[in-house]
Amino acid sequence: MKAPRILILRAPGVNCDVETAAALKFVGGAPEPATMADVRAGRVRVLDYAMAVFPGGFSYGDDLGAGKVLAVQIRGYLNDLRHFVRQKRPVLGVCNGFQALVKAGLLPFGSGDPSAGFAANDSGRFEARWVHLRLNTQSPSLFFRGLPEMIELPVAHGEGKLVLKSPRQLEDLKKNHSIAMQYVSDDGKLAGYPANPNGSVFNIAALSNPEGNCLGLMPHPERFTDIHHHPNWTRQTFFKHCAGLEIFRNAVDYCRS
Amino acid sequence: MKSSVLTPSAVPPRAAAAQRMAEGFLRLSARGLSELSRRSLWSLSGQELLAAQAYFKKEGRDPTWAEMETVAQYWSEHCRHKTFNSPIAYSDNGRTRRIKSLFAETVAKATRDLKKPWCLSTFKDNAGIVSFGKSGKWALALKAETHNHPCALEPYGGAATGLGGVVRDVLAAGLGAKPVLATDVFCFGRPDDRGPLPEGALPPLRGLLSAVAGVGDYGNRLGIPLAGGGLWFEDGYRLTPLVFAGCAGILPRWAAGKKALPGDLIVAAGGRTGKDGIHGATFSSAELNGSAHAALQIGHAINEKKLLDALLRARDEKLYRFVTDCGAGGFSCAVTELAQAAGGARVDMEKAPLKTGDLEPWEIWLSESQERMVLAVPPSSLRALEKVFAAASCETAVLGEITRGGRITVEHGGARVADLSLDFLENGLPLAERKAVWKTPKAAKAAKPSFKSGAGTRCADILARALAHPNVCSRESVVRRYDYEVQAGTVIKPLQGVKHDGPGDACVIWPRAAVGESEGFSGFALAHGLNPSYGKIDPYWMAMACVDEALRNLVCVGADISQTALLDNFCWGSPDNPEILGSLVRAALGCYDAAKGFEAPFVSGKDSLFNEAKGASGKNVAVPGTLLITAAAPVRDVRKSVTMDVKAPGNPLYLLGWTSADLAGSLCAEILGVEGAGLPRVEPAAALKGFRAVLAAMDKGLVLSAHDLSEGGLAVAAAEMAFSGEFGLRLDLDAIACKGVIYSPEFLLFSESPSRILLEVPADREAEFVRATKSAPALRCVGRTIANPVLKVKGLDGLSVMEEPISALKAGWQKTLSEALA
């Protein structure tokens, strides 16, 4: 069966594209990097692809806020993306890509109205660390099939604190099972820093659209695609899941079906 | 931002300014020349000025300002390493001998003597290049740099552009390497130092925080994992901090060489040229009273990222024949370097894209604006190259072409800015003989301090203070500010153990994303060695100890040290002071002996001299002579790497290496305020034997954890292994392999004897381990891991020396820096 074409969308300052493409290749995808400039010039049409990925990094230097300029570009030049999402094709935004999808109004509801945003980490600084995450077992996300309820992934960001416009929004998110992942302590409980590395409201680490085909997450799944990526691989001889790789595998498998 | 930037064509011609001559230069007396040099910040010596004058007499005209600036830049210590290349009359405790070139007779000689076939390019390029991987298709570029002077003035920008510079060095190694690892090492005054400072000096903590933020903000944006480095605190750096940045990159082996040809176009790529970083922005004497801040560059990480992306793409499409980066001296050094390699060049500064329109031609020529590179492009490839760069939103401009004339000709819209003979620039620099004096200091001969016996509580106290010492304590609060695993290749991370917070000895990079699947599990490890405390007593033994430390760090993660490449970074005070130069010579001699002894060649390096500042008394204070050794070695199979945290209770602990009463320059001596005797003396041959035996055992999976013994000796290493692995340790001091008779537990626990590693061996395979390591000179079982979470030490008399809960040890170790930086 032909490998599904996957658009890896880059902008100046995006820096996790190579390992993201590598992860997709491992699980049978055909990643194709393209730049926002290609999109603007009409050389690349998102609807020609089976899946779209917005990798991590510092798009346009994050000079106006994390992912802000990229979000404006998405709104202005990537109108097809909304259609793409409605057609149930998978869209994944990691870290900076997640921030851009939220600011472009594609997550959590795809209404175009940015109801969530990001603020600087409570610690006031960039932080890289591995975190424990609890997946929402009721999440409709196509990315989570077969994954255990608790997984580990690394985060690395300075502006990852998810904030909501109003407390009512949190209720909406819960109702729609849009909260895809939460930061938890190693025993699975909602906890403060450093388990919650940035101070996100309700420990939210990832959001999904209610249909489950668009996922944005602050942690980096592309950095856990081999057991040797885990910080404690020398202590354990065997891990059941490289959670990051499984997330990509689910998406590629979905594209094929 | 774009609107305020003028296109090149909008720059008004400044032909008149371009041609401004240093009128009357030919007639100036030696004194007049020196006065002119001082006013113009050329930093040229009397002899050098006379050589320049003689050259222009031969040319029959006064020089232009731009020409003199070019000479000053090209002949600077920074570019030509005059101290390392000049003849030196070296007096060692009264016996004088002549060194023709310190560089050729020490650092470079070791490399020449060792003749390692895997060294593909040493010293001549922007970075050293060694082979990588098993297929023979790949190579590794290595470089470490200093950025001390800018960091003293403005640590945030200085540290950021320091990293940017070393990354460009790797990008310009051969035809360009993809950076896969960055490192930084900072030497600052103590973080709790609140003492009075002279005007203009920053409090050490403020400087450190700014430098960390600068490296983080710049490095994180570039997407290069910052997974190696170190911190050293001591009063000697309070006025003159040292900031080192290193980088390693992967390149295809075919791209390791470069050659420009006549007719090739000279293309500038990357950021625009601005007024930032012009050392000579001081021609009018009125500005001389201003600060040196105009000499500082302003970095922009995303510009460098765009340049990086475009350059590597163009490299793979083979669109250029030569690349070099614009570092010190800007175009003047980069284009001249390119001209030297190719036989001549002609460039037009009017073609350079500018940040603002008000730059004089000589300013464009000399500006050190960041994120710029110069390429030599065959005319037939120009269109394709421009397309690749445009796709990455990265600007390019054709500045001129390679010629055959043996001259570097700089124009600005038809007016001549500079026209110099390359032969004069390269060979005209007169090298004066310098004086160097070395006298073995008294401290090296001091008597052994005596410890009162039976001081059980005292050992625990020393350990607690050692763990909380700024040079030992946890670096977590700094490390986490850097993205150390972007590119998904950091398989051995800087933080290790159950809670991911133990102090790793070295990082291991598995550059799978850069080389693809072809190399399987090939990776490389990188580590550092640094200890200025030893250098205060004897820089020779400091150099030996630094190389030893870097190597044993590599051994601890399982790297194949038979293919270790070394980088040297010397940071000293003014070499015009014979004693300072003497200590530098001594360190360089140590480097030679260490490299030869460990069979590890230097592949690149850099010296930064004149690290001095005016102290409170008005007298110049030099930094302690500081040598940073960076060592990189292949890890044949990253799946066999080892970390430092203990893995399970009940496993035997083995200590590799002899323990002597080495307390001179040690942390213990500093804590107790005694002058220790016995500087650690490395014996490379014996050390190497031990290291190789351990590596053989690791290859068979017979080592569960390994940690190097450095500052604070056995006690600190054991504590760190225990609390990182969350199991206790029991040590028996009587079992340690000692040289000479040592009665005091303090010596045994805190001696800093070199070449020692503490190893955890699986209990069920102990016999196998012992067989595999038969050739190791001193390897003894000195204890066991235990379930009880305490560090228990049994003294020579069989009585307990200490029993400390590991949680308390860890808490003390974690507190110092996290509180200081909070």
pLDDT digits (tens, 9 = 90+) for A103-158: 999 999 887 778 899 999 999 999 999 999 999 999 999 999 999 999 999 999 99
* Burial category of B93 from C-beta neighbours within 10 Å (exposed 0-12, middle 13-18, buried 19 and up): exposed
| C-beta separation of B222 from B180 below 8 A | no
Q: Identify the residue with better confidence: B199 or B623.
A: B623
Tell me the mean pLDDT in the region B131-139.
Answer: 93
Tokens representing B593? 């002996």
Q: Strand B88-92: give its sheet, edge to edge.
A: B95-99, B88-92, B434-438
Residues contacting B414, CB < 8 A, separation 6+: B15
Rounded to a whole number of angstroms, the distance from the CA of A237 to the nearest CA of chain B is 11
pLDDT band at B196 (very low <50, low <70, confident <90, very high): confident
Residue A26 has pLDDT above 60, yes or no: yes
Signed CA dihedral, B242, B243, B249, B255: sign only: negative
Residue B77 has pLDDT above 90, yes or no: no
pLDDT tens for each residue of B153-172: 889 988 998 999 999 999 99
The separation between CA B658 and the C-alpha centre of its own chain, rounded to angstroms, equals: 30
Q: State whether A232 and B488 contact (CB < 8 Å).
A: no
Annotated active-site residue B412? The verdict is no
pLDDT of residue B7: 35
Cβ of residue A122 closer than 8 Å to a chain B Cβ: no
Residue B94 has pLDDT above 70, yes or no: yes
pLDDT tens for each residue of B486-520: 999 999 999 999 999 999 999 999 999 888 777 89
Q: State whether B302 and A222 contact (CB < 8 Å).
A: no
Percent of chain A at pLDDT exceeding 70: 98
Q: State whether A234 and B647 contact (CB < 8 Å).
A: yes
Distance CA(B604)–CA(B125), nearest Å, equals 8
Strands annotated E in B119-225: 119-121, 128-132, 138-146, 178-188
Annotated active-site residue A127? The verdict is no
How many CA atoms are closer than 13 Å to the CA of B717, on its beta-carbon side?
30
Which chain B residue has its CA at the smallest distance from A15's CA? B223
Least CB–CB distance from B486: residue in A23, A156, A158:
A156
Residue B197 has pLDDT above 80, yes or no: yes
pLDDT of residue B413: 87
pLDDT of residue A111: 79
Task: Tell me if residue B21 falls in helix, strand or coil.
Answer: strand
How many CA atoms are closer than 13 Å to the CA of B426, on its beta-carbon side?
14
Least CB–CB distance from A15: residue in B223, B479, B705:
B223
pLDDT band at A237 (very low <50, low <70, confident <90, very high): low
Q: State whether B483 and A233 contact (CB < 8 Å).
A: no
pLDDT of residue A238: 59
Give A157's strand partners.
A127
pLDDT band at B279 (very low <50, low <70, confident <90, very high): low
Q: What is the average pLDDT score of chain B?
A: 90
Tokens representing A190? 């909602």
Distance CA(B166)–CA(B310), nearest Å, equals 18
Task: Give contacts of A38 with chain B, Cβ < 8 Å.
Answer: 391
pLDDT of residue B182: 97
| C-beta separation of B604 from B143 below 8 A | yes
Rounded to a whole number of angstroms, the distance from the CA of A156 to the nearest CA of chain B is 6
Q: Which of A248-252, B17-21, B348-352 has the lowest mean pLDDT?
A: B17-21
pLDDT band at A10 (very low <50, low <70, confident <90, very high): very high
Task: Give contacts of B480 with chain A, Cβ < 8 Å.
Answer: 127-129
pLDDT band at B728 (very low <50, low <70, confident <90, very high): very high
Distance CA(B362)–CA(B417), nearest Å, equals 7
Residues contacting A142, CB < 8 A, separation 6+: A90, A212, A213, A250, A251, A254
Tokens representing B99? 């060194």
Cβ of residue A95 closer than 8 Å to a chain B Cβ: no
Site from A10, A14, A15 to mutate, B interface, most B CB atoms within 10 angstroms: A15
pLDDT of residue A109: 87
pLDDT tens for each residue of B803-813: 999 999 999 99
Task: Give contacts of A16 with chain B, Cβ < 8 Å.
Answer: 223, 486-487
Residue A245 has pLDDT above 50, yes or no: yes
Distance CA(B636)–CA(B134), nearest Å, equals 8
Count contacts between A and B (CB, < 8 Å).
107
Distance CA(B326)–CA(B328), nearest Å, equals 7
Least CB–CB distance from B481: residue in A18, A127, A220:
A127
Tell me the mean pLDDT in the region B335-339.
Answer: 92
Tell me the mean pLDDT in the region B197-215.
Answer: 89
| Cis-peptide into B155, omega within 30 deg | no
pLDDT tens for each residue of B669-684: 898 887 777 889 999 9
Tokens representing B574? 């003014």
Q: Is the pTM of this model over 0.90?
A: yes
**Which of B110-125 are b and which e, b meaning 16 or more Cβ less than 10 Å from the residue's Cβ?**
bbeeeebebbbbbeeb
* Burial category of B153 from C-beta neighbours within 10 Å (exposed 0-12, middle 13-18, buried 19 and up): middle
Task: Give contacts of B300 with chain A, Cβ < 8 Å.
Answer: 61
Q: Which of A73-87, B192-206, B778-792 has the lowest mean pLDDT?
A: B192-206
pLDDT tens for each residue of B598-645: 999 999 999 999 898 887 777 888 999 999 999 999 999 999 999 999
pLDDT of residue A114: 80
Annotated active-site residue A95? The verdict is yes
Q: State whether B392 and A12 contact (CB < 8 Å).
A: yes
Tokens representing B194? 């609140």
pLDDT of residue B517: 74
Q: State whether A232 and B491 contact (CB < 8 Å).
A: no
pLDDT tens for each residue of B533-591: 999 999 999 999 999 999 999 999 999 999 999 999 999 999 999 999 999 999 999 99
Distance CA(B190)–CA(B816), nearest Å, equals 11
Task: Give contacts of A127 with chain B, Cβ < 8 Å.
Answer: 480-481
Task: Tell me if residue B8 falls in helix, strand or coil.
Answer: helix
The separation between CA B641 and the C-alpha centre of its own chain, rounded to angstroms, equals: 24
Residue of B596, B581, B582, B595 lying closest to B630 (CA atoms) = B595
Q: Which of A105-114, B209-218, B286-295, B546-555 has the lowest mean pLDDT?
A: B286-295
Distance CA(B309)–CA(B314), nearest Å, equals 9
Cβ neighbour number for residue B413 with a 10 Å cutoff:
16
Residue B445 has pLDDT above 70, yes or no: no
ipTM: 0.95
Cβ of residue A232 closer than 8 Å to a chain B Cβ: yes
Residue B513 is inside which H or E element, if any?
helix B512-515
Task: Tell me if residue B676 falls in helix, strand or coil.
Answer: coil
| B7 phi, psi to nearest 5 deg | -80, 155
pLDDT tens for each residue of A143-201: 999 999 999 999 999 999 999 988 899 999 999 999 999 999 999 999 999 999 999 99
pLDDT of residue A174: 95
pLDDT of residue B20: 63
pLDDT tens for each residue of B7-48: 333 333 344 444 566 778 898 999 999 998 888 888 888 999
Cβ of residue A47 closer than 8 Å to a chain B Cβ: no
- B372-377 and B88-92 strand pairing: unpaired
Residue A15 has pLDDT above 90, yes or no: yes
pLDDT of residue B451: 55
Q: Which of A145-159, B440-454, B770-784 has the lowest mean pLDDT?
A: B440-454
Residue of A58, A126, A93, A134 lying closest to B222 (CA atoms) = A58
Distance CA(B497)–CA(B501), nearest Å, equals 6
Residues contacting B284, CB < 8 A, separation 6+: none
Pseudo-torsion of CA B592, B595, B598, B599, nearest 10°?
Answer: -120
Distance CA(B218)–CA(B304), nearest Å, equals 9
Distance CA(B489)–CA(B394), nearest Å, equals 27
In chain A, residues 17-36 whose CB comes closer than 8 Å to chain B: 18-19, 22-23, 35
Cβ of residue A130 closer than 8 Å to a chain B Cβ: yes
Q: At residue B605, what is the residue type? A: G
| C-beta separation of B659 from B751 below 8 A | yes
pLDDT band at B324 (very low <50, low <70, confident <90, very high): very high
pLDDT of residue B201: 82
Q: State whether A61 and B513 contact (CB < 8 Å).
A: no
Tokens representing A28? 């049978």
What residue has token string 């001193």?
B778
Q: State whether A61 and B512 contact (CB < 8 Å).
A: no
Give B248's strand partners.
B142, B181
CA–CA distances in Å: residue B8 to residues B156, B303, B356, B662, B741: 31, 19, 9, 64, 76
| A149 phi, psi to nearest 5 deg | -70, -35
Q: State whether A16 and B223 contact (CB < 8 Å).
A: yes
- B178-188 and B226-233 strand pairing: parallel
HEC-encoded secondary structure of B380-411: HHHHHHHHHHHHCCCCEEEEEEECCCCEEEEE
HEC-encoded secondary structure of B572-634: CCCCCCHHHHHHHHHHHHHHHHHHHHHCCCEEEEEEECCCEEECCCCCEEECCCEEEEEEEEE
The separation between CA B139 and the C-alpha centre of its own chain, rounded to angstroms, equals: 20
Tokens representing B269? 């790529």
pLDDT of residue B687: 97
Residue B353 has pLDDT above 80, yes or no: yes
pLDDT band at B120 (very low <50, low <70, confident <90, very high): very high
HEC-encoded secondary structure of A7-65: EEEECCCECCHHHHHHHHHHCCCEEEEEEHHHHHCCCCCHHHCCEEEECCECHHHHECE
Tokens representing A29? 């995808």
Distance CA(B177)–CA(B194), nearest Å, equals 43
pLDDT tens for each residue of B45-72: 899 999 999 999 999 999 988 899 899 8
Q: State whether A234 and B510 contact (CB < 8 Å).
A: no
